[in-house]
Structure 1
Amino acid sequence: MNVAGNDLAEDNKPESTGSEEQSAFTKFLLTLVSILPWAIVGTLLWAGIFVKPTAVIEEVVSAPINVRDNIFGVAHVDGDVYLAAGNYGKMLITKDGGKTWENQDSTVAEHLMDISAWDENRAVAVGNAGVTLMTEDGGKTWVSVDSPKSDVANKLLKVHTYPGGEALAVGEMGMIIRSTDYGKTWQQLREENDIFMNDVVKVDANTIWVAAEYGQIFKSIDNGKTWEELFTDSPNSFAAIDAKSPQEISIVGLAGVVVGTTDGGETWTYVSPQQSGMTEHM
């Protein structure tokens, strides 16, 4: 046996070095780096085909009242319940005295200039283009009804409700209309003429007063069958009227004007803006 020769052959084999191991590791890293972009692309492609994301869409609820809303009329219904009407058919209700409001669907886009209520269920609203609305369920549904119209202009400015289903509304072209069935039908009380009727008040069963532009006042003592035109010393248009009795009437208007009578319109007391210190429209 040549044991010595075998031992010599083994002694002559090249020894493994750390540099060879490092070279193999470097090749592995380079290979990994070269395939990494393709792995990322493949992962994204797989995700695009097989992973279906679920979209989470949160409903955006707009506030009942925003900065572009103009409120023109408010009606006290009962207790803490109020109705409000405004531009572009805006209709609102509050049941907590105005702390929170809810939108109602008026079904119209015209400006609503005023609103009035008989009780918690029945109310009426009026506005541009002669719009007249009524509700019998507290505003859950509003119904547009026919009313007398002019061929010239038809804005209705004010409406007031009275016991027994009566309502009076006034507006452009001398319009004075009345309903006696909770706003379902309307009748014209006076022929039209080129004047704005700005407010109306019914004092008793027969006496109705109307405040108009250019310092004019109209009075009926037979429940609207005939009308008397009264003149005051006011050069300003009147905007609102109220009555303490058939004889005692107070009226306010543009530029702070205030007039009143205590004898049913026989004489009038005129308070000028200079006397009252008021120059704002009222």
Structure 2
Amino acid sequence: MKNLDQFGARTRLGAALCAACFATLAGFPAAARAEVLDRPAPPSTLALKRSLSGIAVQGANALAVGVRGTILVSRDAGKSWQQASVPVSADLTTVRFTAPGVAWALGHDGVALRSADSGRTWTRVLDGRSLAALVKTHYGALAAAGSAEAAEVLAELDRALRQSATPGVLPYPLLDIRIGADGEGFLAGAFGVLLRTQDAGKTWEPMLEKAANDRRMHLYALEQGADGNFYLAGEQGLLRRYDRATGRFTELASPYAGTFFGLKANGTALVAYGLRGNAFVSEDNAATWKPLALGAAATVVAAIPAGPGQFAFVTQSGQVVLAGADGKPASAAPRTRGEVFDAALSAPGQLALAGIGGVTLAPMPSK
């Protein structure tokens, strides 16, 4: 596990949010840092205007997450929002629906929250204390049985905890989650954090040493492809595919040496996207990739399936580009105002954009 000061602007939040989002990583006294796990997010009239880093939509239900434990809930596809009651005040990074009515919100200080009622109420599943204990227990047993890999992970954990401003708290941000219909899934985060579940998130098993990621690069994105396989993406062109036979992620040839911030699949293609408008598409389950000419210079923060072989790509600068697997951009919508950090399709022809100042709605470009 890397030194905390290496995290910086290379995280998804670093590419998307202001420096204030890293207060949970550095600069706060231990007592104040501990409060983000022990104190629920306070209700605020300002919540609807806070910086939001993640958004997810399922039917008419929409969720958005951001700084200070903010979770916003909409029951009308993003037209109006209310603040949810949240058990922590840590900065949140990502929100995902993983089953009908089931949502997960992830964040700094190892926070993973689960909702079984489309975001109305939230339960803490993991935080920096329980995550540290989980890693220590799992690899402690393996190290005692003679595993050199496990002993190395334990040594990394010890170094990370000694650097943490809060004793016993592993402050690493969790950044993405995917759970399949059969209950198998993964949770990924900064500094190579990777967990596996086989029961839809009731229990988690650490597998940092099974990601072909000895350098513990940040893991930003998970996706389940049309082939049923799970894919993983991260720093410095990291691309991996899960091999159920070995129980490990295996390295894939990457078309790009820069950071990937996201993966998205539709019925026929898988796209990977990241810094400076870079996006790539594969139509053969990540065996080969070709670049997409988005004509954008800003970081791509979201890709939304928009029909067979087509995706709407949203950039941090607010540009929305509709592109097909042929590699040629079809059309682009006018830029929205303000920085955008995530996006989702909230209704036919309508995007919900999360960023500075809350959620805004924008039209999908015409084909």
Structure 2 match to 1:16: none
Answer whether contact 2:226 2:266 (CA < 8 A) is retained: no
1:190-229 equivalences under 5 Å are 190-191=208-209, 193-203=215-225, 207-222=229-244, 225-229=247-251
Answer whether contact 1:83 1:93 (CA < 8 A) is retained: yes
Structure 1 match to 2:275: 254
Corresponding letter in the other structure for 1:213: E
Corresponding letter in the other structure for 2:81: W
What is the rounded CA distance, in whole Å, between the counterparts of 2:116 and 2:186 in structure 1?
A: 18
2:158 matched to 1:177?
no
What is the rounded CA distance, in whole Å, between the counterparts of 1:276 and 1:139 in structure 2?
A: 34
TM-score, L = length of structure 2: 0.52
Structure 1 match to 2:177: 159
Corresponding letter in the other structure for 1:96: D
Deviations 1:225-273 (A, max 9, x none): 122112324132111112235x8421111011112223333332235xx
Answer whether contact 1:236 1:255 (CA < 8 A) is retained: no
Q: Percent identity?
A: 25
Number of aligned positions between the proteins = 216
Distance apart, 1:209 and its partner CA: 0.8
Corresponding letter in the other structure for 2:180: Y
What is the rounded CA distance, in whole Å, between the counterparts of 1:234 and 1:118 in structure 2?
A: 29
Structure 2 match to 1:76: 57
Corresponding letter in the other structure for 1:236: G
Query: Which sits farther off after the overlay, 92-101 or 220-229?
Result: 220-229
Corresponding letter in the other structure for 1:262: E
Corresponding letter in the other structure for 2:235: E
Corresponding letter in the other structure for 1:94: S
Structure 2 match to 1:135: 115
User: Helix, strand or coil: the match of 2:45?
Assistant: coil
Distance apart, 1:221 and its partner CA: 3.2
Change in CA separation of 1:119 and 1:138 when aligned onto 2, cut-off 3 Å: same
Structure 1 match to 2:291: 270
What is the rounded CA distance, in whole Å, between the counterparts of 1:83 and 1:161 in structure 2?
A: 18
Corresponding letter in the other structure for 2:177: V
More relative contact order, 1 or 2 (CA 8 Å, 6+ apart)? 2
Change in CA separation of 1:102 and 1:124 when aligned onto 2, cut-off 3 Å: same
TM-score, L = length of structure 1: 0.67
Change in CA separation of 1:220 and 1:258 when aligned onto 2, cut-off 3 Å: same
Change in CA separation of 1:83 and 1:182 when aligned onto 2, cut-off 3 Å: farther
Change in CA separation of 1:119 and 1:223 when aligned onto 2, cut-off 3 Å: same
